[in-house]
Amino acid sequence: MICSSRWLGVVVGTAVLTVTAVPSFAAIDKCSKLIDAEGLKVQSAALKGFSKCQDAYRKDILKPPTPALSKAAAACEKELAKIIGAGGALDKSINKLIGQVPKTCTDAELIALGHLSTAAFGSNWARVQGMAALSYAYEQQLTMTRDFVNIMQDVGDTGSCGSCKKLATAPCYLLSCKLSASSSTVNLATFSISVPLSGSTVFKICDASVIQGSAVGSLYVLASPGRILAPAPVGSIATACVKTISAEGIIQCGAGAQKTNYTTCLDHNTGGASNIAGATTSGDCAGDVCQGSVANNDPSETPGIINGGTCVDITNVSGTAGDAFINLTSQIGLAPLGDSCTNPDTLTSPGTPELTALTTGSPLATVKDADDAAGSEITSDPQTGSVFNCATLGAGQSAGTKLVGAYPSVNSLEPAPDTLLDSAIGFTLQCE
């Protein structure tokens, strides 16, 4: 019998920082509060500017000036430039976020909150926050005013409102990756379990060109809550019910594209003979991005043993257009075998939201001192992803893209009562 829900995070991805405990970072609350506040500022400023532009347009339609829409064009450019222009709300918010690293937000805190690493991706995490705030405001405006895009197009066509022209297309659009039959997860331990994946993964692809100073060709990736993967059979014992919570990532379609590879390892027992290089007595990792240590939960082992933190080494190498790295947060509940996942009351476990990592590069996961046996090691199968087609992304096509990931987990499988085993998990999401 296998009755752990921890390893099932692989159904939609894999945890680069496996969230098995609340991070004990001293200022993570301040970092989170800062990001929330800046996002709200951008959304508020955007909605205010959209409303004023719309009002000016309506007035010009009722009492047409000469030339047509000239008053609206001047008013809209003035208001929209306050949002997306140099020194506007979006620009100010992004620059403030960038300037608060590491004073208010350290790299480890940002990663724990689901954001891109500054060490690997520079200030892109802050630009994603700005793009997300603008996108959410734009979508809210469309909910309230269905012809808002028409307004942007008409006023933009006057040639006197460049900001209208930029916003005549939504900042972000949905991209669906329908999973092929080769999509699956593989859990390696003293035995192997394969979980077939079906359904779709849906992302928001955002054109970063509306943000001041963004690299040409950079596309940011977001996601909204959704039930998009089909119920997944877990061997012959249970059904995994999957929810997407959110995502943050980057697709590099411009010059200087980088491929992101990562290795992640976890030491089952920090007192073992083969500790991770640089591991401290608390199980943390010196010099690497690291999750705090986790108390042992295996009743067959000596009480008080501390499992080491998860060390992550992210490496960027020369890539090609379409290479991507995406942090995904998802929630996987367990239900009886064959369940349709339509009734929350049938869940035997609701699941805990997990931070996951997808890459078109190569991931690898290792458990040191596996199953608390000194020198024992479990490693996921090597795998490599394939890039997005930048030429077809604009049409919402992702055929041929393969996103891969891997993560280590201790005490995650229970083949028999009171017997917990470690595992190294790899997964593949292949788009048709």
Bridge pairing between strands 200-207 and 172-178: antiparallel
Report CA 427 to chain centroid distance, whole Å: 16
Bridge pairing between strands 363-368 and 310-318: unpaired
Compute the residue count for the chain. 432
> CA–CA separation, 333 vs 198, rounded Å?
16
Q: Which of these, 354, 373, 375, lies nearest to 425 by C-alpha position?
A: 354
Q: Average pLDDT of the chain?
A: 86
Q: Which of these, 363, 333, 338, lies nearest to 348 by C-alpha position?
A: 333
| pLDDT higher than 80, residue 170 | yes
Mean pLDDT of 53-67: 98
| pLDDT higher than 90, residue 417 | no
How far separated are the first and last CA of the chain, in Å rounded?
34
The pLDDT assigned to 26 comes to 58
- pLDDT tens, 231-269? 988 777 788 898 889 999 999 998 889 999 999 888 887
- pTM assigned to the model: 0.88
Tell me which of 72 and 238 has the higher pLDDT: 72
Would you state the structure tokens that stand for residue 198, as one six-digit string?
């079906």
| pLDDT higher than 60, residue 1 | no
The pLDDT assigned to 42 comes to 98
